[in-house]
Structure 1
Amino acid sequence: MNAPVNPKDLYPADLKPVGFEDLQHVPGPVPGGSKTLRTIKFLRDPRKTIGDMAEKFGPVFRRQDYMGWGVTLLGPEANELVLFNKDKVFSSKLGWDPVLELVFPNGLMMMDFEHHRSQRKTLSVAFKPAPMKVYLNGLNEGIERVASTWSATEQFKFYPAIKNLTLDLAAGSFLGLPWGPEAQKINQAFTDMVLASVAIVRRPLPFTQMRRGVKGREYLCEFFGAEIPKRRGKEGDDFFTQFCNAEDDDGNPLTPQEIVDHMNFLMMAAHDTLTSSISSMVYYLGVNPEWQEKLREEVDGVRSRHGDVLTYEALNELELVEMAFKESLRLVPPVPMIPRRAVKDFEFQGYKIPAGAGVGINTLYTHHMEEHWPDPERFDPLRFTTQLSANRHKYAWVPFGGGAHMCLGLHFAYMQAKAFFFYLLSNRRIVLPDGYQGAFHMVPIPRPKDGLPVTMAARQG
């Protein structure tokens, strides 16, 4: 029998955060500045901040933020070291805890090593082909029902519209029921929880964002908890029912709290990251109409062979749509940076880093490194052809993470994006305002600063 895991047993008893004196041999800023002001500067423009640090100090440097002193490692080799984690040096839980512990504790990303492996295997039942086919049917229906109501003549803000749609789709795929009047309250709860993850005030004091995030979690725990008894022992193809009836290697079901924690985390991951990713792809297709037409031609070909409703068997034929999605994730990765904490001493590029150090890798920076992505600001889906990908470092593109913590729902993400653009490109044209150049808030999850004004015009021809 597998005994319950006490997370404290996974880490060295003497592990403690490191200070400046432990990292003074690593290039980087010196003490004296306010860690709060440094954090605010980073959050305001993370790409410029990291780029300036890399130019000044190189691809390995110490940094200071609200989590204290740590190191940033840049580039594909750093990504491979940290994400592949073959020597179990890096803890995902201890890296994410300062960011997510109060709002998304005990989600799959907040687990390590054998505990993580066991829980991941148990949850993987919800991502097998049979339930995925059922999810696709729901996605097709939900996308058509909601997107068909979007005006073909009036400009609207795309980001809040797609956020509402992905929440609606999550209700079907994840819960197996339509949202009732609590829809907006649930949406607000998730929004508050995500924003709390990067709030400067880290305690849930009255009137703070962290307090709103904690209250949002309390509401969702109550909402999901009330549903669990209704799903135990019942058949259902939605994620929630699958989790309620999943068993580990020894035949033990997940506890109610485990189910609630996994649902909170996976709903956030599917809802907010897909909202971000689809928004960025709509933006890039809007400013690159020639690519929009190329994808539409591919969609038309699939429709001529398989009909007007996307089938599971036809997903792999949307090759160019997938490449455009990948290119959008390169330019605007939904998780721009990934934190870890070292539980053992390690060495990288000649620098010895002690156990206890916070370790960050930066997806956004790596995805714009010119040596791996020539003309990195240009939108070019053909970067992801088999030929052009063959000699590229496999950790130069890591929007879904990597190694044991590779996103469990990545195939669901591809499927949802393909279903959305299959419908959209079959029926509408993405039209942005003349001369429009969008900008994104990059943290905690990228979103357009102005909501992304767009007209979903009727298709011509």
Structure 2
Amino acid sequence: MATLAPHHPAETAPTHWTEGNPSDDALAHIPGEGGWPLVGNTFKMLADPHAFTRRMVETYGRVYKSKAFGGWNVALIGADANELVLFNRDKIFSNEQGWGPVLDQLFPRGLMLMDFDHHRADRRALSIAFKPEPMRHYSGALNRGIAGRVAEWANTQMLFYPAIKKLTLDLAADSFIGIPWGPEADRINEAFVYMVQASVAPIRKPLPGTLMRKGVKGREFLVDYFTKETHRRRAEGGGQDMFSQFATAEYDDGSLMPIDEVVDHMNFLMMAAHDTITSSATSLIYYLAAYPEWQEKIRQEIISVTGGLGSDGKPRDLSYDDLGKLDLTEMAFKEALRMIPPVPSMPRRALKSFEFGGYHIPAGTPCGINLYYVHHDEKHWDDPFTFDPMRFTPDKVKARHKYAWVPFGGGAHMCLGLHFAYMQVKILLAQLLPQYEITIEEGYDPAWKPWPIPQPKDGLKVTFKKI
């Protein structure tokens, strides 16, 4: 377990991302490697981050340092490390200063980039958007939107990832913003795509012709759009979509959230929701196709809850009140999230010195945890590279380390929209499985691009065969 080292005010990390980082001498006692001159291990990590992490753990142990992206980072690997960092009992770690170097130009002041009191106040204000009545409204919009789109997918081989990405963006325009699918939604979606691509672009300045330039321009468009819309919705009264809920969100003292913060939260939420749900829905569809016995079990569970196809030959909607009845479906989704977590690793920065794994980590150290490694750690998972939803029966969950499975994070920063993610995926399967058998070609095993959010390199070739 970790213990705090003596802390002095001077140890508090500065606001700027690189100022105050520990010197090479301060980290000399931590094993690891610096990689190539100038670039360090950056390209090795980007080429195959999972293989890189495995090699580093095998060579140096579960606490190691690596130089990448311009400086040293200390990796803390294991379920205990996940608990230390995510629960953050002693307020050692800063989310803002961990994610900031990656996301601050494009998604500043999102919940994931906030710390402590500010984060807690904004999270409580925004949680109104995930109360039962708004969620009930979203479920209706999801059923309508998904049913209309998947009806077009019958009996042709298709690339699932780009199809579900477009659908997820359109669903976000409907459920999140409350606008119909069409040119306005397409323009908003395009801006988000550019922002997400730019967040991990190697050129970090918005020079002409670069991804960062497109991302910054996309942000400018969305800031202008959401600012005008926030003013309008406050004047006219909000609707039931998520943006209207945010626009009228109040703090505990009854004051409205500043408009620029509403805008930043909306930008961040759209990014976090659509890319992670796209990734996790894609991995689940692949595993259900690769493990047809599980596909059939889930199909029968859904039919037993919804009644399957109606008299018109179309799947019946999955009601909001029935979401909790799909136990096997939820277990399969959790297993897909274990196999391919949509956020494979999480960066932080130490605000205080601390001890972990026998090492002293000085204040100011950029550090992070690796979800993917722990999700495949044989200490917690038998045969970890095999898809097996039965890992998530209540007795097995109770017996396992609480932080061995953390696709939604944990502690105060647990994903605010996790129940929305469960709902969207369950409704997707409820519209798909009663009418289609999901198939892939024999022996098909797509390669996955692991960074920044996993996706199949070939788009995932699947066929939805009409039953």
- Provide TM-score, normalisation by structure 2: 0.93
- For 2:274, which of 271, 276, 294 is the aligned residue? 271
- For 2:58, which of 51, 55, 58 is the aligned residue? 55
1:295 paired with 2:295, answer no
Q: Which residue of 2 aligns with 1:66?
A: 69
Q: Which residue of 1 aligns with 2:29?
A: 25
Superposed, 1:343-422 pairs within 5 Å as 343-422=351-430
- Deviations along 1:361-415, one digit per CA (max 9) or x if unpaired, are 0011110101211101100000000111121001000000000000000011111
Paired residues of 1:108 and 1:120 also in contact (CA < 8 A): yes
Paired residues of 1:62 and 1:70 also in contact (CA < 8 A): yes
Q: Which moved more, 1:415-424 or 1:219-228?
A: 219-228
Superposed, 1:180-199 pairs within 5 Å as 180-199=182-201
SS at match of 1:429: strand
- For 1:217, which of 215, 219, 222 is the aligned residue? 219
1:337 paired with 2:337, answer no
Distance in 1 separating the partners of 2:392 and 2:415:
19
Q: In structure 2, give the amino acid aligned to 1:20.
A: D
Paired residues of 1:203 and 1:211 also in contact (CA < 8 A): yes
- For 1:141, which of 139, 144, 147 is the aligned residue? 144
Distance in 2 separating the partners of 1:293 and 1:349:
44
1:248 paired with 2:256, answer no
Q: In structure 2, give the amino acid aligned to 1:410.
A: L
Q: Which residue of 2 aligns with 1:229?
A: 231
1:432 paired with 2:434, answer no
SS at match of 1:390: helix
| Cα shift at 1:434 | 2.6
Q: In structure 2, give the amino acid aligned to 1:317.
A: K
Distance in 2 separating the partners of 1:111 and 1:429:
43
Q: Which moved more, 1:299-308 or 1:416-425?
A: 299-308
Q: Which moved more, 1:187-196 or 1:259-268?
A: 187-196
Paired residues of 2:107 and 2:268 also in contact (CA < 8 A): yes
Q: Which residue of 2 aligns with 1:458?
A: 466
SS at match of 1:71: strand
Paired residues of 2:13 and 2:364 also in contact (CA < 8 A): no
Q: Which moved more, 1:12-21 or 1:89-98?
A: 12-21
Q: Which residue of 2 aligns with 1:320?
A: 328
Q: In structure 1, give the amino acid aligned to 2:195.
A: M
Distance in 2 separating the partners of 1:96 and 1:187:
23
Distance in 2 separating the partners of 1:246 and 1:116:
14
Compared CA separation, residues 179 and 256, structure 1 to 2 (3 A): farther
Q: Which moved more, 1:309-318 or 1:173-182?
A: 173-182
- Provide TM-score, normalisation by structure 1: 0.94
- For 1:423, which of 413, 426, 431 is the aligned residue? 431
Paired residues of 1:35 and 1:66 also in contact (CA < 8 A): no
| Cα shift at 1:442 | 1.1
Q: In structure 2, give the amino acid aligned to 1:18.
A: P
| Cα shift at 1:210 | 1.8
Q: Which residue of 2 aligns with 1:154?
A: 156
User: Which runs of 5 or more structure 2 residues have no equivalent in the other structure?
Assistant: 1-10, 311-315
Q: Which residue of 2 aligns with 1:304?
A: 307
Distance in 1 separating the partners of 2:308 and 2:196:
41
1:100 paired with 2:108, answer no
Compared CA separation, residues 200 and 12, structure 1 to 2 (3 A): closer
Distance in 2 separating the partners of 1:188 and 1:411:
26
Distance in 2 separating the partners of 1:358 and 1:337:
13
Distance in 2 separating the partners of 1:333 and 1:188:
25
Paired residues of 2:39 and 2:70 also in contact (CA < 8 A): no
- Deviations along 1:404-431, one digit per CA (max 9) or x if unpaired, are 0000000111111111111111111111
Distance in 1 separating the partners of 2:163 and 2:307:
29
Compared CA separation, residues 35 and 455, structure 1 to 2 (3 A): farther
Compared CA separation, residues 117 and 300, structure 1 to 2 (3 A): same
Across the aligned residues of Structure 1 and Structure 2, the Cα RMSD in angstroms comes to 1.7
Distance in 2 separating the partners of 1:306 and 1:146:
16
Paired residues of 2:160 and 2:282 also in contact (CA < 8 A): yes
Distance in 2 separating the partners of 1:102 and 1:161:
29
Distance in 1 separating the partners of 2:371 and 2:440:
28
Distance in 2 separating the partners of 1:332 and 1:34:
32
Distance in 1 separating the partners of 2:207 and 2:238:
42
Distance in 2 separating the partners of 1:305 and 1:194:
37
| Cα shift at 1:187 | 2.5
Q: In structure 1, give the amino acid aligned to 2:423.
A: M
Paired residues of 1:36 and 1:200 also in contact (CA < 8 A): no
Distance in 2 separating the partners of 1:12 and 1:153:
57
SS at match of 2:74: strand
SS at match of 1:356: coil
Distance in 1 separating the partners of 2:104 and 2:250:
25
| Cα shift at 1:216 | 1.6
Paired residues of 2:13 and 2:363 also in contact (CA < 8 A): no
- Deviations along 1:319-376, one digit per CA (max 9) or x if unpaired, are 0010000000001001000000000000001100000000110011110101211101
Paired residues of 1:19 and 1:68 also in contact (CA < 8 A): no
Q: In structure 2, give the amino acid aligned to 1:28.
A: G
Q: In structure 1, give the amino acid aligned to 2:48.
A: D
Paired residues of 2:342 and 2:454 also in contact (CA < 8 A): yes
Paired residues of 1:194 and 1:444 also in contact (CA < 8 A): no
Q: In structure 1, give the amino acid aligned to 2:145.
A: G
Q: Which residue of 1 aligns with 2:8?
A: none
Distance in 1 separating the partners of 2:151 and 2:254:
45
Q: In structure 1, give the amino acid aligned to 2:23.
A: G
Distance in 1 separating the partners of 2:463 and 2:38:
42
Distance in 1 separating the partners of 2:309 and 2:239:
27
Q: Which residue of 2 aligns with 1:110?
A: 113
